[in-house]
Structure 1
Amino acid sequence: MLGLKPIKTLPIREKIAANLREAILSKKIPAGEILTLESTAQELGVSITPTREAFQILARDGLLELERNKRAVVLGVNEKTIREHFQVRAALESEACVLCCENKIDLQRIDQILKVSREEIEKGDFESYSSLNQTLHMELWTAAGNDKLKNMLSELWNGLSRGVLVNEEEYVRKSLKEHEEIVESIRKGDAMECYLRMQKHIKSSCKNFVQRYN
């Protein structure tokens, strides 16, 4: 046994926000659609309170406009929305990496996540990589030791950014390679290098989204 901590999942409000965000980004929920707290909560099988909190998260993302009577209008997505989202993520996640270097974090759990990621990719189970990708990022946020930073990143998180110009295997292999480079920089204690590598990693995801929605 490696003495690893259980994998923690996102709070329910952030799961709801991620679900709705993906539907909006994929245009399953079109711009102009009216969402109500009651109907959305009922469809997702959750309560009103976390649904209201998810609406507030998406309003901050610029994807919803909140109205009275527990309603929200879907604003849709455009290149400006996408770039702003990833610019904030890049700034915060890069700073989290710097804090990991300064804290000289124990990389045992993160190394284990990378090991399992490699195994899943070699088995051809690319779908599982989405969860492992999320877990690795969350581990870095936690290891950074800044709760406010972690909470902000949790709200921004929207899952694996799947581009349309590369197939799934190419994407996950590229993503894993970038993860390995980031972790190696942290292992060396090179704060500037890991900062720049995380910037590159997040900007790559941004590029995929922009190409998808142009």
Structure 2
Amino acid sequence: MSILKPIKLLPARERVASSLRKAIILKEFEPGHELMLDAVAKMLGVSVTPVREAFQILSREGFIQLRPNKGAIVMGITPTFLEDHYEIRASLESEACAIICRKKKDISEIIKVHEDAKESILSGDVSSYSDLNQAFHFAIWNASENARLIEMASNLWNGLSMGDLQTEEQYAQISIQEHEDIMNALIAGDEEQSRKFMLKHIYRSMENVLTRFK
């Protein structure tokens, strides 16, 4: 029997929204591009239902404009728009860390995911890091046991923190060290430090992504 466990990721609608959000930020879909439900579902290998739900999420965030029965139109993304997006993420995720420390929540799943991510990088498998990065953040939200925070953080996830000139390996090395700092603060139950390190992590991600607009 295998001792490996599946990586716990976001529900399908949030994964679809994350993929589309990332593609829009990277300008793989330019402003004015029309997104069709069937086409997106086929590209991502999912049914139409999570795509329709993802469209609703992205519409509320301002990434797309819905067209009844016709899909959606991609809206323009500005640096200010992205800054607002990451500032909300930073507030939510740093608060999740503070809740975990303040209420002495179970962090065993967070530790497990972090160790899996470190082993993946040490073995040279940086291609798996994107999913493990998502799983790490997901584990932190879940550990807070705050249903509204989990929902809001899930709806904001884009999984993107690479700078324009970074390689995937460089990004993974920077990210895992920041996760290590967050992890140690959570283990110590240090509310202030865990909040500080998560804020630093999210804002570094924001600055890296903004290099794509310079």
- Tell me which moved more, 44-53 or 96-105: 44-53
Residue number in structure 2 paired with 1:111: 111
Residue number in structure 1 paired with 2:178: 178
Q: Is the 8 A contact 2:178 2:197 kept in 1?
A: yes
Mark the CA change 1:160 to 1:210 in structure 2 (over 3 Å): closer, same or farther: closer
Residue number in structure 2 paired with 1:101: 101
Q: Is the 8 A contact 1:97 1:144 kept in 2?
A: yes
Amino acid at match of 2:158: N
Mark the CA change 1:111 to 1:164 in structure 2 (over 3 Å): closer, same or farther: same
Residue number in structure 2 paired with 1:164: 164
Other structure's SS at 2:118 match: helix
Distance in structure 2 (CA, Å) of the matches to 1:96 and 1:143: 8
Other structure's SS at 2:119 match: helix
Distance in structure 1 (CA, Å) of the matches to 2:4 and 2:44: 32
Q: Is the 8 A contact 2:79 2:210 kept in 1?
A: yes
Other structure's SS at 2:73 match: strand
Mark the CA change 1:6 to 1:102 in structure 2 (over 3 Å): closer, same or farther: farther
- Tell me which moved more, 92-101 or 37-46: 37-46
Mark the CA change 1:5 to 1:105 in structure 2 (over 3 Å): closer, same or farther: farther
Aligned Cα RMSD in Å?
A: 2.1
Amino acid at match of 1:116: D
Mark the CA change 1:39 to 1:114 in structure 2 (over 3 Å): closer, same or farther: closer
Distance in structure 2 (CA, Å) of the matches to 1:71 and 1:166: 34
Residue number in structure 1 paired with 2:73: 73
Q: Is the 8 A contact 1:41 1:48 kept in 2?
A: yes
- Tell me which moved more, 143-152 or 66-75: 66-75
Q: Is the 8 A contact 1:165 1:208 kept in 2?
A: no
Amino acid at match of 1:99: I
Residue number in structure 2 paired with 1:137: 137
Distance in structure 1 (CA, Å) of the matches to 2:109 and 2:192: 23
TM-score, normalised by the number of residues in structure 2: 0.90
Distance in structure 1 (CA, Å) of the matches to 2:178 and 2:158: 18
Matches within 5 A, 1:77-88: 77-88=77-88
Residue number in structure 2 paired with 1:62: 62
Distance in structure 1 (CA, Å) of the matches to 2:133 and 2:74: 28
Residue number in structure 2 paired with 1:48: 48
Q: Is the 8 A contact 2:22 2:160 kept in 1?
A: no
Q: Is the 8 A contact 2:31 2:75 kept in 1?
A: yes
C-alpha distance after superposition, 1:39-74 (max 9, x if no partner): 433444433332221111111222101233433211
1:35 matches 2:35: yes
Q: Is the 8 A contact 2:9 2:134 kept in 1?
A: no
TM-score, normalised by the number of residues in structure 1: 0.90
Deviation of 1:15 after TM superposition, in Å, equals 1.8
C-alpha distance after superposition, 1:59-109 (max 9, x if no partner): 122210123343321113220121111011000000100111022123333
Count how many residue pairs are aligned between Structure 1 and Structure 2: 213
Mark the CA change 1:43 to 1:121 in structure 2 (over 3 Å): closer, same or farther: closer
Q: Percent identity?
A: 45
Q: Is the 8 A contact 2:107 2:143 kept in 1?
A: no
Distance in structure 1 (CA, Å) of the matches to 2:206 and 2:21: 15
Distance in structure 1 (CA, Å) of the matches to 2:78 and 2:190: 36
- Tell me which moved more, 4-13 or 130-139: 4-13
Other structure's SS at 2:15 match: helix
Provide structure 2 residue ranges, at least 5 long, that are not aligned to the other structure.
none
